[in-house]
A and B are shown apart, each in its own frame.
Chain A
Amino acid sequence: MSFLIGENMTCGYGGADILHSCSVGVDPGEIAVVVGPNGAGKSTAMKAMFGMLHLGEGRVMLDGTDISQLKPQERVLHGMGFVPQNNNVFTSMTVEENLEMGAFIRRDDISGTMAQVFDLFPVLKDKRRQPAGELSGGQRQQVAVGRALMTQPRILMLDEPTAGVSPIVMDELFDRIIQVAQTGIAILMVEQNAKQALNIADKGFVLVQGRNAYTDTGAALLADPEVRRAFLGG
């Protein structure tokens, strides 16, 4: 059983269910990637695991305890960090203030963590007095990831971190994400760029219409001819 696992999750946004008994999990130091066609329920699975949706069935387990009933804010306190797909930075605030707000729940000294984030994303250090809304798409994503890292999470959940950024920036972001995983943080992310994402993934979950279609290591999924044909464009 994984460190963080969403088991047999069934839920939706009122009305019809989007997820049907879908399971996703990740372990520390690992990168788990959720891929699948549009409307497969990838983002929904993330939201369900972070407590932004009420689970009809199933449960979310963190380190062996059931956290299904916790609110998103409480899950942050339990060491989960979440980077939403859209509106994931405070646009009118400076980069530094964004990071400070990420660490809002912490009462201790945050300068060390901030230095780590600046080490990870050196460009942010240069722009730390600039409003986050004035940054490029890729830089914004870095701010968003940095903000989530400020709580020193044990698990970082990313909802399409590379949406709308150029391929070069995407590669760089993936490199950074690998770096974060190497520090022992569990990373669970949804990706539109399935091939590149599975390349760096330890674990891959292919969802189709809210169900687990294929689950395997990233490399195995990439090698699977059926997955390749159906989802990765040959």
Chain B
Amino acid sequence: MADVLNALVLIANFIIVPGFAYGSQLALGALGVTLVFGVLRFSNIAHGETMALGAMFTMLISWWLQSMGIGLGPLPTALLALPFGIAASMCLCLITDRAVYRYYRRVKASPVIYIIVSVGVMFIYNGLVRFIVGPADRVMVDGQRFIMKAKDFKTATGLDEGLAIKTSQAVSVVCAVIAVAMLFWFLNRTRTGKSMRAYSNNEDLALLSGINPERVVLITWLLAAALATVAGTLYGIDKSFQPFVYMQLLLPIFAAAIVGGFGNPLGAIAGGFVIAFSELVVTFAYKRVVAYLLPESLEPAGLVQLLSTDYKIAVSFTILVIVLLIKPTGLFAQRTT
């Protein structure tokens, strides 16, 4: 019995807890991508770098707050800096829209051109981040590291395996829930949010109803910037802040958005968790789990790992390809046409 519990704790510690945290981060990223796609109708390649910039702004402000001696006690200071980081990246997104995207809207550019343009924006953002804070790896988290330490869990339960929950993981999940609740309240309950959904659903009819497209675009950028900053900051707190990591996050984020059906916010959230858990399940080494469950004589010699963690990007890519081949509208496609 203890063996089974140990195996379960092992899985909880290495797959379930990190999966929820990582899934929340991906879901927030995918929501931003999906919103921009729904309203502006292009895949925003620069979204990963928007996350990096948002996280950078938040990090800079939290450093300043720390130097002033302001903190949140056990919680990371970055949470306090988050609203300012969001405001900064909102400004940046609006400036980018004014300076870059607005022109392509006016000339009614095709989606392909938009994508290439957003690649350009990505490089500029990327350069901006490196220019301001450099390419080095930085720790964003402070305050109390763990809510529950592995050792405390072991002494409390008497099991051999420990279950650790990092503060950053809990913060990720809680922040994601709050952000998603606010977003859905906005989209479903407010006039402006409804006009965004209307515009995303049927542009011509929205125009006939007197909905101002420029205003919808503006609100979309504000939301995308906010979501990107929250996602980027949470990822930074949970892991660490490395400028290049956010570019690598782009693939799982797009995979999440596509798995959920591009343009569908609920799908993006589900997609985020699908991708996060698949990555962890496929790259986890099950050797110790198997050892607990099987008699000693059958203990595996290898790691019992399906795929090395180096290949975790391949997981989201594979899921992306499979979904595009089998159900290109996404697993959670809206039935209504």
> Which residues from chain A sit less than 8 Å from chain B, CB to CB?
72-73, 76-77, 82, 84, 87-93, 97, 100-102, 104-105, 131-134, 147, 151
In the assembled complex, 14 residue pairs joining A and B whose CB atoms fall closer than 8 Å, in A order, are A72-B207, A89-B205, A90-B205, A91-B201, A91-B336, A97-B197, A97-B198, A100-B191, A101-B195, A104-B195, A105-B209, A133-B336, A133-B337, A147-B209
Number of interface residues of B (CB under 8 A): 19
* CB atoms of A90 and B202 under 8 A apart: yes
State the CA gap A147–B198 with chains docked (Å). 12
CB neighbours (8 Å) of B195 from chain A are 101, 104
Closest Cβ of chain B: how far from A117's Cβ, in Å? 14
CB neighbours (8 Å) of B201 from chain A are 90-93
* CB atoms of A104 and B205 under 8 A apart: no
CB neighbours (8 Å) of A147 from chain B are 205, 209
* CB atoms of B336 and A101 under 8 A apart: no
Q: Write out, one digit per residue, whether chain B residues 193-210 have a CB within 8 A of any chain A CB (1) or not (0).
A: 011011001101111111
* CB atoms of A101 and B334 under 8 A apart: no
CB neighbours (8 Å) of A89 from chain B are 202, 205
State the CA gap A105–B194 with chains docked (Å). 13
CB neighbours (8 Å) of B202 from chain A are 87, 89-91
CB neighbours (8 Å) of B334 from chain A are 92, 133
* CB atoms of A73 and B194 under 8 A apart: no
* CB atoms of B197 and A93 under 8 A apart: yes
CB neighbours (8 Å) of B205 from chain A are 84, 87-90, 147
Report how many A-B pairs have Cβ atoms within 8 Å: 68
* CB atoms of A131 and B336 under 8 A apart: yes
State the CA gap A133–B201 with chains docked (Å). 11
* CB atoms of B210 and A77 under 8 A apart: yes
CB neighbours (8 Å) of B194 from chain A are 93, 97, 100-101
Closest Cβ of chain B: how far from A182's Cβ, in Å? 25
State the CA gap A196–B20 with chains docked (Å). 61
**Neighbour of A76 across the interface among B191, B197, B210, B336, CB < 8 A:** B210
State the CA gap A105–B337 with chains docked (Å). 26
Q: Is B11 an interface position by the 8 A CB rule?
A: no
5 new A-B contacts at CB < 8 Å, known A101-B194, A104-B198, A104-B210: A76-B209, A90-B205, A100-B191, A101-B211, A151-B210
Closest Cβ of chain B: how far from A20's Cβ, in Å? 26
**Neighbour of A73 across the interface among B210, B335, B336, CB < 8 A:** B210
* CB atoms of B211 and A104 under 8 A apart: yes
CB neighbours (8 Å) of B206 from chain A are 90, 101
**Neighbour of A84 across the interface among B204, B335, B336, B337, CB < 8 A:** B204
Q: Which residue of B lies closest to A131 (CB)?
A: B336
* CB atoms of B209 and A102 under 8 A apart: yes
Interface centre among B201, B202, B206, B208 (most CB of A within 10 A): B208
* CB atoms of A73 and B198 under 8 A apart: no
Closest Cβ of chain A: how far from B267's Cβ, in Å? 12
State the CA gap A93–B337 with chains docked (Å). 11
| 4 pairs of A and B residues whose beta carbons are closest in the complex | A133-B336, A105-B210, A91-B336, A101-B198
Closest Cβ of chain A: how far from B202's Cβ, in Å? 5
CB neighbours (8 Å) of A91 from chain B are 201-202, 336-337
